[in-house]
Amino acid sequence: MTWHPLSRIVLRRTGFPFEILERLAVSDGHTIDAAGQAELLAERATGTALAAFPGAVSRAREQGRADTLRTLSKLRRVVATGRLDAQRLASARPALPDDLAALLDDVVTARTSAAAAEARLRGTVGAAEPGLRDALRAAMTDRLFVEAVFLSNPDMYAATIAPLVADPARTPSTALQRSGWSYLQRFAGKNDTASFFGPLNYASIVDDGDPARAPLTVETEPGRWRRREVFVSFWAVQALAARITQDPRIRPWLKPHRHPMVRFERADGTLTVHRAGTATPLPGRLAEVAALIDGSRSVQEIATKLGQPLEQTMVAVDKLAAANTVIHAIEIPSTRFHPLTQLIEQVTRLDPNCSGRDPWLADLHGLDEVRRKLRDAPFAERPGHVDELDRRFSELTGRPPRRGAGATYADRTLFYEECEGTHPRFEFSGPFAGDLLRRLAPIIDLSAAHSGLLQNHYRTLGRARFDALSPDGTPVPYTRFAQVVMADQLAGELPSTDDAVERFRDRFADLVRERSDGHVAVLSRADVDALVDGMPTPANCHVSPDIMFAARDAEALAAGDYTLVLGEVHQVIYAWGSQLYFDEQRAVTEAEAAAHVAGMDDYRGMAIVLTERKHKGLLHEVLPGTFIEVAAPASETSPDRVAIADLDVIPDDTTGIALRHRDTGEKYVLYMAGDEQLHLWMLALPRVMPIAVRTDPEHTPRITLGEAVYQRERWTLPVERLGADFADLDDAGLLQRGAKVRAELGLPRTVYLHVASEPKPYYVDFQAPLALRLLQHLVRANTSVTFTEMLPGPDGLWLQEDGERFCSEFRMTLFRYPDGSE
């Protein structure tokens, strides 16, 4: 089987140069490291001495040395609290055994050295502070940084950044300095998809056989973006839709439809509602109304058809809606990029006799006009447009224009912005791409073998649950099946893996341990081949890895002088989502992805269970499959839509169980995008994902497969390892403690920090006081911290413009199927 790459690749990168962060670090790393090493040596000398006290006490008791026992008791407390000095030791020495006295001499020497090293460090930090303060203020008042904060958090901009810009004499508070670093490390240290500080760019694999084609072709335009687009947030449009739905002028003209969780069935003159395996007959009047609800008739039209007053019909519809039997509301599809445009279209389609239609259209068009002004305006005018958008929204909905205060990476405001980056042309030649895939192959082959075992487990688990629900093999409504499996999963009765999966993971982890030198474990292509040999690897599957290149510069990258680093791995095929929004080749890429899928037999009947959109439009209606509606609708232009209540789970000799439409008999296989619900994976395409290796609770080495880094080195430690006094340390103390932890654990200078209280990692430079202040702040709400090496590191940031370096990564999609020659 061969992996076939989608020829279009998404390039994600930072919008700010990495140098911004380096300017906020103390440059004298030697002095910092020396202070940390001295503290570590003093701590170790103290530990060694304390460990010798019990033996000395035992010997003194045996010898009847009361004076020695008294001295040891007092001296141990002095040593443990770090108060031992030469004078105290000299006065105690006559009562001490020689071996312990020698160890305590080492403690005094080590602590004296540590104090001297700390003093030198404090002098260095004191001398650096004015420059660091000026660099931070310059960064936080930079025009582009100010705009980036405004786009991320308009309220913070107004309350803190705008006053800082307006008053050159204002000194940022400690909290504002910490927030400033937090934003700067996001804008310059992590790849994102957000406005111009996380712009969208596109690369292509051009395999035209031209021997003169350069391995890498990059064209860059000046500036930070080529195009901008502003979107009204999905939650805000939902709030508008809910308000319009409540308008008594609107409600009669809405077209109710069956809830996707229920089916209507008529037999012997009775209309019955079927929901998750239960049946409820409807009384006569409700049944009359329900029989006419199909999404094509308004309440007014139903009333007219029944020859009954509108009010009477409305009461019946409201009862059905209150029971979640029908939906009587304006719903915003989760498969459209511009939800406000969709809402305008839906209101436009209301009957012309609807008296509320035109007033609401005027209001919605007014909001959209403000959105366009915001998109096109220079920054000086943007705050005013945001204020207007906020005001109009609150007037229309009665709701505040903000939500989720303090949340990160979420739609807090009424809008968000995306930008096209400044690389109009970015191309990999066929040979370059071929070499890239060769290096990547061990990783994705291992992940595919892992997916085969997982799929077998999910299928076996699914068939067992089906057999328990239906011993005679009678079809089970999917809603009922899902309900039971979710309850079992929540109760912990369904294992996420089986023995075969765990054995495979253990074999891999054991091999990593065998190959590790303490910091790096190198596995060969042959090692991977041996691991996956005999595994039930799927013939058809796909995977979307994020990859990074660590190279000196673009020339080194083009020459093949790079290290390939695996980032996150996704199940989603990005051609069907918002990441190609700006791509001029979008339609071609969508067609190419669909063509790959069309050639994969196991992908026939591909469908996705559509959940409500929570943030950006990661799934678009161009998906070449079926949308299964349950918690959210697809747009009317989607190729195929079915209600989840119309699906049954049936036994299948090949896959264990299968999903089948109750009326048409069509079978479906689920395309998944990372959901952890087991009832979905029991009916899904293979879940191609790497194995997360943890060889030790506190440390796992970097893992290299062939010529690519599979997993970066990481360290997990309880916050107590940072020291009981960590919360009270000043900048010099933080730098010394950070250097001590680095020396103790073998940490690099630059890492990413993960804590349970935060959804995203933070960049940490152990020579940047602000980074350590943020660490100091975060540990208060957490019991442990995990550090992961920054790779590519600062020296491997090959994407450079005007002499400055930018972090970057490529998001690919690969499909596995025979290439015709196999």
Taking CA atoms, 698 is separated from 159, 393, 510, 701, 753, in Å, by 41, 50, 16, 10, 14
E-assigned strand segments in 17-153: none
Q: Is the pLDDT of residue 665 over 60?
A: yes
Bridge partner list, 262: 275
Is-contact 108 45, C-beta < 8 A?
Answer: no
Rg of the Cα atoms in the chain: 32
**Helices 382-397/357-376 angle, 10° precision:** 160
pLDDT of residue 267: 83
| Residues in a beta bridge with 809 | 12
Task: Please say whether the beta carbons of 225 and 196 come within 8 A.
Answer: yes
Q: Quick one: pLDDT band at residue 820, thresholds 50, 70, 90?
A: low
Does residue 768 contact residue 25 with C-beta atoms inside 8 Å? yes
Question: What are the angstrom distances between the C-alpha of 192 and each of 11, 675, 702, 810?
Answer: 10, 21, 24, 12
* pLDDT at position 541 over 60: yes
pLDDT mean over 621-630:
93
pLDDT at res. 84: 93
Q: Coil, strand, or helix at residue 657? A: strand
d(CA 755, CA 757): 6
Q: Residue 635 has what DSSP assignment? A: P
Residue 8 has pLDDT above 90, yes or no: yes
Sorted by sequence, the CB contacts under 8 Å of residue 472 that are 6+ apart come out as none
Q: What is the pLDDT of residues 708-752, one digit of tens each?
A: 999 999 999 999 999 999 999 999 999 999 999 999 999 999 999
- What is the tens place of the pLDDT at every residue in 801-810? 999 999 999 9
Given a cut of 70, whether residue 484 has pLDDT beyond it is yes
pLDDT, residue 149, reads 97
Measured distance CA(324)–CA(256) in Å, rounded = 12
Residue 636 has pLDDT above 90, yes or no: no
Which residue shows structure tokens 């959105």? 371
Distance, C-alpha 541 to centroid of its chain: 22
Q: What is the pLDDT of residues 575-595, one digit of tens each?
A: 999 999 999 999 999 999 999
What's the confidence (pLDDT) of residue 285?
87
Each residue of 486-530: pLDDT tens digit?
Answer: 999 999 999 999 999 999 999 999 999 999 999 999 999 999 999
d(CA 232, CA 377): 16
Residues 614-625 have a mean pLDDT of: 83
Tell whether the model's pLDDT for residue 330 goes beyond 60: yes
The answer to whether residue 405 scores a pLDDT higher than 80 is no
The upper half-sphere exposure of residue 652, i.e. CA atoms within 13 Å in the direction of its Cβ, equals 18
Q: pLDDT, tens digit, for every residue of 64-118?
A: 999 899 999 999 999 999 999 999 999 999 999 999 999 999 999 999 999 999 9
> Under a CB-based contact definition with an 8 Å cutoff, are residues 339 and 237 in contact?
yes
> Which positions ≥6 away from 580 have C-beta within 8 Å?
8, 10, 202, 574, 586, 589, 590
Q: What is the DSSP track for 155-212?
A: HHIIIIIHHHHH-TTPPPPHHHHHHHHHHHHHHHHS---BEEEEEEEEEEEE----TT
> Which whole number is the average pLDDT over 227-251?
97
Q: Which amino acid is at 660?
A: R
As a whole-number percent, the residues of the chain with pLDDT over 70 amount to 98
Beta strands in 390-496 (DSSP E): 415-420, 425-429, 476-477
pLDDT for residue 616: 77
Residue 407 has pLDDT above 70, yes or no: no
Question: Over 80: is that where the pLDDT of 534 sits?
Answer: yes
Please report the pLDDT score of residue 638 as a whole number. Answer: 82
Cα dist from 615 to 127, 414, 415, whole Å:
45, 12, 11
Quote the pLDDT of residue 639.
81
The whole-number pLDDT of residue 611 equals 85
Tens digits of residue pLDDT in 304-320: 999 999 999 999 999 99
Helices (H) and strands (E) in the chain, counts: 25, 33
* Distance between CA atoms of residues 144 and 82, nearest Å: 48
Q: Which tens digits make up the pLDDT trace of 426-461?
A: 999 999 999 999 999 999 999 999 999 999 999 999
Average pLDDT taken over every residue of the chain: 95
CA atoms lying within 13 Å on the CB side of residue 177: 21
3-state helix, strand, coil in the chain (%, to 5): 45, 20, 35
Helices (H), 377-429: 382-397
Looking at residue 821, its pLDDT comes to: 60
